[in-house]
């Protein structure tokens, strides 16, 4: 059984290795795939976007262990979430907001059954004590309902939605940057279906960009343009240049979209 593992632990400290050791001590045959341990520390919103983008492409039934948990030891609850595409284990702090919203069929459970916890638990390392063991026992075939009671709702992040209005030219929308990748490409909250097949004009600060381009290679070298990116949203991207650096943008920077 495949278990993916995503966290903000990095690899220089022992935390990632400890969690993997706990999993393998419970199920030596578990196949653990590290998606990333370089998620921005304590940035739940960015991690939620990463999880929703990367995890659903794995085979149906994959177990996804996801830990970005600045509230460890607080009253936030440990949970697992079963969807039509996979099973997610981690903290109920908004990390699974997009997975919850994008799933047609989902059931969440609190993790309460200490039978499936690490033997020497603490209040500062739920990844080792609760989440890792849960993922391991799931991979051995333990049913989700064995871990705790069903949850009717989970904590959801308030993710920004574009605001639109009719104009004399067409439709105008106010949005913002919700994700920035390592290349400096700026992912907006304008989804595919809003702009696909339409004449779109994008404005960020004083920079105005007209007309979608089909791919990164179609952008002149050293220039920026807007494309429909692989993550399902309109992106402001550069060819051999960082759009983030060029436009001095950050998460939350406002973007205007005109559909003509």
Name residue, tokens 């009671």: 149
Asked if 200 contacts 258 with a C-beta cutoff of 8 angstroms, the reply is yes
Residue 168 has pLDDT above 70, yes or no: no
Mean pLDDT throughout 60-65?
A: 98
What are the DSSP E strand ranges found in the chain?
2-7, 31-36, 62-67, 78-83, 86-91, 106-110, 150-151, 163-166, 171-180, 186-191, 200-204, 207-210, 224-228, 233-238, 254-259
Question: Which overall architecture, per CATH, does domain 2-151 show?
Answer: 3-Layer(aba) Sandwich (3.40)
Residues with Cβ within 8 Å of residue 193, at least 6 apart in sequence:
none
Confidence of residue 145 (pLDDT cuts 50, 70, 90): very high
Output the DSSP codes for 99-165.
Answer: HHHH-SSEEEEE---GGGS-SS--SS-HIIIIIHHHHHHHHTT--GGGSS-EES----------EEE
- Please give the pLDDT value at position 230: 86
Confidence of residue 245 (pLDDT cuts 50, 70, 90): very high
Mean pLDDT throughout 209-228?
A: 91
Confidence of residue 192 (pLDDT cuts 50, 70, 90): confident
Residue 198 has pLDDT above 90, yes or no: no
Burial of 223: CB neighbours in 10 Å, binned 0-12, 13-18, 19+ = middle
Inter-helix orientation angle 15-26/132-139, to 10°: 30
Q: How far apart are CA 3 and CA 184, in angstroms?
A: 30
Residue 62 has pLDDT above 90, yes or no: yes
Burial of 73: CB neighbours in 10 Å, binned 0-12, 13-18, 19+ = exposed
Instruction: Provide the 8-state DSSP code for 246.
Output: H
- Range in 41-50, 193-202, 234-243 the model is least confident about: 193-202
Averaged confidence pLDDT in the chain: 93
CATH of 163-259, one of 2.40.30.90, 3.30.1360.70, 2.40.30.10, 3.40.50.300: 2.40.30.90
Report phi then psi at 221, rounded to 5: -55, 130
Question: What pTM value is reported for the model?
Answer: 0.87
Domain ranges of the chain: 2-151, 163-259
Nearest one of 197, 181, 198, 165 to 235, comparing CA atoms: 181
């Amino acid at each position: 059984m495949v278990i993916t593992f995503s966290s903000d632990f990095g690899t220089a400290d022992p935390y990632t290795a400890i969690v993997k050791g706990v999993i393998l001590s419970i199920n030596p045959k578990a196949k653990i795939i590290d998606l990333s341990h370089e998620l921005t520390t304590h940035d739940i919103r960015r991690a939620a976007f990463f999880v929703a983008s990367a995890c659903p492409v794995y085979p149906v039934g994959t177990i996804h262990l996801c830990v970005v948990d600045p509230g460890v030891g607080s009253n936030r609850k440990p949970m697992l979430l079963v969807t039509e595409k996979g099973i997610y284990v981690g903290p109920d702090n908004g990390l699974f907001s997009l997975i919850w919203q994008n799933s047609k069929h989902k059931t969440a459970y609190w993790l309460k059954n200490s039978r499936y916890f690490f033997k020497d638990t603490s209040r500062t390392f739920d990844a080792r004590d609760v989440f890792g063991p849960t993922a391991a026992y799931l991979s051995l075939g333990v049913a989700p309902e064995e871990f705790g009671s069903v949850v009717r709702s989970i904590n959801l992040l308030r993710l920004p939605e574009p605001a639109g209005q009719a104009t004399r030219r067409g439709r105008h929308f106010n949005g913002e940057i919700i994700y920035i990748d390592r290349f400096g490409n700026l992912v907006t909250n304008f989804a595919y279906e809003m702009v696909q097949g339409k004449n779109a004009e994008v404005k960020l600060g004083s920079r105005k960009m007209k007309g979608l381009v089909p791919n990164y290679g179609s952008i002149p070298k050293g220039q920026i343009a807007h494309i429909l990116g692989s993550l399902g949203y309109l992106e402001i991207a550069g060819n051999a240049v960082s759009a983030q650096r060029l436009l001095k943008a950050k998460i939350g920077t406002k973007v205007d979209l005109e559909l003509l």
